[in-house]
Amino acid sequence: MHALEITDLTKVYDDGTEALADLSLVVPDGGFHGLLGPNGSGKSTLIGIVTGLVRGPAGHVRVFGHDAVADPRRARTLVGLAPQEVHLDRFLTAREVLSYHGRYFGMQKADAEARADELLAAFDLEGKAGTRPHRLSGGMRRRLLIARALVHRPRLAILDEPTAGVDLELRQDLWKYLSRLRDEQRTSILLTTHYLEEAEALCDRISMIQGGRIVAEGTVPELIDRFGGPRLEDAYLRVMRGAAAGVGS
Ligand code: ADP
């Protein structure tokens, strides 16, 4: 069974904007999938639909076989979202940020606290359990946000630009944690990023999206082979220019 299976997904907002048009995408169980595209291409809309925040699309979305359009609440429990913006309650400690999130997802207090401790350790934040988020470094805050997405043991993690605005050194440090998500937490991952080298380093497959449509899909070597390299960035620019010119893939 696939972690995420999206079939012919179309979303038209009330003002008539068609944000997604017949989009199909599969993230296999255990996959690390990149979703790359310029601003306004439909990434947030897609994530919003999978997490039940954007309603009323046409088409099918299945999260481990559960229909996320018909029953968004059930699908939501299978998904962990690390959102783009860092909103962390300044009155909670790092440990409480995690355990409260678990409670929100219906975990028993003891289980949520044990899971919080496990994740603090996994993300090298044990020493910061009692620290409030605004007293953490930028990199630690990002780690806490990713850890929070995992508290309720989702089988699919959606990471929305988890390293945006972080300097290169710190970003590479975060990559180590993102790889561990799959290897140690056994989570399937959908990642959006504007850093092409990040997608190249982490993802086993990549979908490029523009104008609400998938304009290219494949492994990094396949995309480079098909659209030109030497880096994924070169292939990406080719695809986007081609798509903008209406050439398609
Ligand atoms: P991305 O995340 O790739 O930047 P979005 O999903 O945010 O793309 O946006 C896709 C398209 O849908 C854009 O044209 C955007 O302006 C439009 N859009 C996004 N949210 C809304 C909304 N609530 N109402 C109307 N249009 C929207």
* pLDDT tens digit sequence for 140-164: 999 999 999 999 999 999 999 999 8
Q: Are residues 95 and 10 in the same domain?
A: no
Q: Are residues 19 and 127 in the same domain?
A: no
Ligand 1 binding pocket mutation candidate from 41, 49, 161, 209 (most atoms within 8 A of CB): 41
How far apart (Å, rounded) are the C-alpha atoms in residues 165 and 176?
Answer: 17
Interaxial angle between packed helices 109-122 and 94-104, expressed in degrees from 0 to 180 and rounded to the nearest 10: 130
> Given the DSSP bridges, would you call strands 188-192 and 66-67 parallel, antiparallel or unpaired?
unpaired
Q: Are residues 159 and 147 in the same domain?
A: no
Residue 165 included in any domain: yes
**Of 104, 136, 153, which residue sits at a domain end?**
153
Q: Are residues 4 and 124 in the same domain?
A: no
Q: Are residues 10 and 71 in the same domain?
A: yes
Report the pLDDT value the prediction gives residue 74, as an integer from 0 to 100.
86
Q: Are residues 177 and 65 in the same domain?
A: yes
Report the number of distinct structural domains present in the chain.
2
- The CB of 210 under 6 Å from ligand 1? The reply is no
Q: Are residues 7 and 127 in the same domain?
A: no
Report the pLDDT value the prediction gives residue 248, as an integer from 0 to 100.
46
Report the pLDDT value the prediction gives residue 246, as an integer from 0 to 100.
66
- Can you name the residues that pair with 209 across neighbouring β-strands? 214
Nearest to 69 by CA among 8, 26, 16: 8
Residues of the chain with confidence (pLDDT) below 70 = 246-249
CA 211 – ligand 1 centroid, Å: 10
Give the domain CATH number at 18. 3.40.50.300
Ligand 1 binding pocket mutation candidate from 6, 10, 17, 192 (most atoms within 8 A of CB): 17
Report the pLDDT value the prediction gives residue 200, as an integer from 0 to 100.
95
Answer positive or negative: Cα dihedral of 4, 190, 155, 105: negative
**Of 120, 153, 186, which residue sits at a domain end?**
153
Render pLDDT for 12-50 as a digit per residue (tens, 0 to 9): 999 999 999 999 999 999 999 999 999 999 999 999 999
Q: Are residues 72 and 158 in the same domain?
A: yes
**Cβ density class 129-155: b for 16+ within 10 Å, e for less:** eeebbeebeebbbbbbbbbbbbbbbbb
Q: Domain range spanning residue 134? A: 89-153
Report the pLDDT value the prediction gives residue 194, as an integer from 0 to 100.
93
Report the pLDDT value the prediction gives residue 249, as an integer from 0 to 100.
44
- Can you name the residues that pair with 99 across neighbouring β-strands? none
Q: Are residues 198 and 176 in the same domain?
A: yes
Residue 33 included in any domain: yes
Q: Are residues 1 and 71 in the same domain?
A: yes
Q: Which residue, judged by its Cα, is nearest atom 18 of ligand 1?
A: 19
Q: Are residues 162 and 136 in the same domain?
A: no
Residue 236 included in any domain: no
**Of 153, 174, 191, which residue sits at a domain end?**
153
